[in-house]
A = this chain, B = another copy of it.
């Protein structure tokens, strides 16, 4: 086994002497790190550690050693220059090696990664993970286990790539009661919606383009269906409110139903269409939902472009803070993982076993979507004949939904239908849904072709 030493070279001494507290760095034993995964993210992490060793070690206050890297196929050609001796296909070579003090997991997916992380914690190793699925589904349990074992779990990279989010909640905003978090947190859907808006593409074409550009997976369901954003919101809401929010408690709707014409109406009404992840504090409960929404063009989230992510946090002291950047990709995610490693290394070498653990209040639940108040946009295809407006107006009135704007475009003479666009004032989501169902049953209504919440 080859240990790639990251000891400061020529300029190390100068740096060390300028550092004060870490002048004894060279005397301390190195911190041995195991890496799980050598794909897009893992390669960037390994490369930074192998080529930037002295700088990282200086900043960490301890020599960082990349001890082993778990890969599926040790014979595969790699894009980075890494010694084959560092690679292993055997998870035990990392998880059972007592010299490994820190496990960095960037392979992704639920199992076997959850088990690996659990094994690492149980073996007294610190964990750094970029795994949103594991942290969203099992985060609170893993954090509890880590607290018991006096080790730490870092997961800055699990949400928003290199944008400093977890650390912002965990440290900077600690004097605040968090009121709400609103985010555009899935780059794939944002790219797709952006292309639909800018070029009038159909969703299928926009998804294909995103796949060609490397922004969407071959099977885009995880992104397009809103699952990815839901995992990330579960993590953010849990950290923001110190409660356990499970992904399956979050109301989730994907972007599948949106058509190019909706972007034209959105623009006309002064909105952009984004997949929004939103959570808000209520008394004794929180609201948490992921769905496409119309957002006013004045809102910073309306301006998030391409594969970017943005998170808008409101705290009772700090007011509104916006954090924006590349939410995915090898290099931004590696930035977060290696940043966590440096932070962790500093703690370990100062003799800190683990940071204060999170506390999660079990008594706070999630508000059912029907009880959430929101505004809505309906696009309705109707017969172009007298009495239709009255019938639709009647439905809204009976459901207690007040109309904010109303557009009827020229009728389409070929089939004698017209398109109505209605936006409402804030109403109970249940009433908005009820109105939608009732309209669909009205005889002159062909379809409610589109229903979007207005954010």
Q: Which residues of chain A in 27-64 are interfacial with respect to chain B, using CB atoms and an 8 Å cutoff?
A: 44, 48, 52, 55-56, 58-59, 61
A330 nearest CB neighbor, chain B only:
B317
Fill in one digit per residue for A176-206: 1 if any B CB lies within 8 Å of its CB, else 0. 1100000000000000000000000000000
Do B15 and A359 touch (CB < 8 A)? yes
Q: Which of B55, B161, B324, B339 contacts A300 (CB 8 A)?
A: B324
Q: How many Å lie between the Cα of A163 and that of B353 in the bound state? A: 29
Known pairs A335-B173, A335-B176; A356 contacts B319 (CB<8 A): no
Known pairs A20-B357, A148-B20; A168 contacts B164 (CB<8 A): yes
- Measured between beta carbons, the chain B residues less than 8 angstroms from A319 are 162, 325-326, 329, 331-332
Stretch of A212-220, A245-253, A275-283, A344-352 that contacts chain B: A344-352
Chain A interface category by residue count? 35 or more
- Measured between beta carbons, the chain B residues less than 8 angstroms from A150 are 21
- Measured between beta carbons, the chain B residues less than 8 angstroms from A438 are none
Do A320 and B326 touch (CB < 8 A)? yes
A336 nearest CB neighbor, chain B only:
B172
Known pairs A147-B21, A332-B317; A339 contacts B163 (CB<8 A): no
Q: How many Å lie between the Cα of A332 and that of B317 in the bound state? A: 6
Please tell me how many copies of the chain the complex holds.
2
Q: Which of B167, B175, B324, B341 contacts A324 (CB 8 A)?
A: B324
A319 nearest CB neighbor, chain B only:
B326
Q: How many Å lie between the Cα of A356 and that of B319 in the bound state? A: 30
A312 nearest CB neighbor, chain B only:
B324
Do A171 and B322 touch (CB < 8 A)? no
- Measured between beta carbons, the chain B residues less than 8 angstroms from A9 are none
A390 at the interface (CB under 8 A from B): no
Do B162 and A167 touch (CB < 8 A)? no
A321 at the interface (CB under 8 A from B): yes
Q: How many Å lie between the Cα of A176 and that of B334 in the bound state? A: 10
Q: How many Å lie between the Cα of A148 and that of B167 in the bound state? A: 28
A417 at the interface (CB under 8 A from B): no
A341 nearest CB neighbor, chain B only:
B175
Q: How many Å lie between the Cα of A18 and that of B15 in the bound state? A: 41
A-side interface residues toward B, CB under 8 Å? 15, 18-22, 44, 48, 52, 55-56, 58-59, 61, 144, 147-148, 150, 156, 161-164, 167-168, 171-177, 300, 303, 310, 315, 317-326, 329, 331-332, 334-339, 341-343, 346, 350-357, 359-361
The 9 closest A-B CB pairs, nearest first, are A175-B338, A162-B318, A20-B147, A164-B172, A321-B325, A317-B335, A318-B335, A18-B359, A322-B324
